[in-house]
Amino acid sequence: MADSRKQQEEHAEQAAPRPGTARLTDPRALRAYAHPTRMRLVGLLRMEGPFTATRAAELTGESVASCSYHLRMLAKYGLVELAPGGQGREKPWRATARFTDWPEYSEDPAVAEAGRAVEKVAAEQYFEQMRKAIEERPALPREWQEATVFGDTLLYLTADELSSVGERLAEVLRPYERLQEAREAHPEGARLVQIIRTGFPVARPPASPPASPPPGGGPR
């Protein structure tokens, strides 16, 4: 029994979200977040905030009224909040966390479906960000063009091994994440860099059916 409890505690520790994470488990919150403009606003607030609905409109190309509405919806589910200062639409907003997390698996069909909706919107935004980065790469200094990472790897892994790879990649990044809290701690020449991590089983094509014997019943 003691070993079982220890294993449960270790699993709970591994599953615990990293500090500064907004954990979404309510399907209503997940569905609210699964919106391109709202997801973009949260990302912008984490990078550029706090800012007002007016500034949000300038950054996104949406109307001030639209941004104000989306910010209020995000606030309803705890992803953003009003920051001190300003009045009316000139009140600044800020993100409540540096990361957003949600269950990778759920027995609740509503949570599972809403989680997939979030991931689809996120994947579309990742693709757009990558496409833009590729287009803009020629304008970067040579050292940044050479430092840019782009590629993939196909591996045969068990589910446990894939989980371990994800945990080890997160561990590599963790020291750099801590430095983001204090901008004065950034080394000279540092730039904001996006690192996208994903790993998933590849759908294999169905096996070819056995060859049909030639007319006449095959060789004699």
What pLDDT, in 10s, does the model give residues 186-200?
A: 788 888 899 999 999
CA atoms within 13 A on the CB side of 69: 8
Q: How far apart are CA 84 and CA 41, in angstroms?
A: 19
pLDDT interval class at 7 (50, 70, 90): very low
Q: What does the pLDDT read at residue 19?
A: 59
Task: With a cut of 50, say whether residue 12 has pLDDT above it.
Answer: no
Higher pLDDT, 15 or 207: 207
Q: Which of 53, 80, 78, 79 is nearest to 67 (CA)?
A: 53
Identify the pLDDT of residue 174: 87
Is the predicted pLDDT of residue 10 greater than 70, yes or no? no
Does residue 70 carry a pLDDT above 90?
A: yes
| pLDDT at residue 214 tops 70 | no
Q: Which residue has the higher pLDDT, 14 or 39?
A: 39
What token pair was written down for 95?
A: 């993100």
Question: What stretch of H or E contains 99?
Answer: strand 99-101
Q: Is the pLDDT of residue 63 over 80?
A: yes
DSSP-assigned letter for residue 194: -
Checking if the pLDDT of 143 tops 50, the result is: yes
Mean pLDDT of 152-177: 93
Q: What is the pLDDT of residue 4?
A: 40
43 burial (CB, 10 Å; 0-12 / 13-18 / 19+) is middle
Lowest mean pLDDT among 53-62, 88-97, 122-131: 88-97
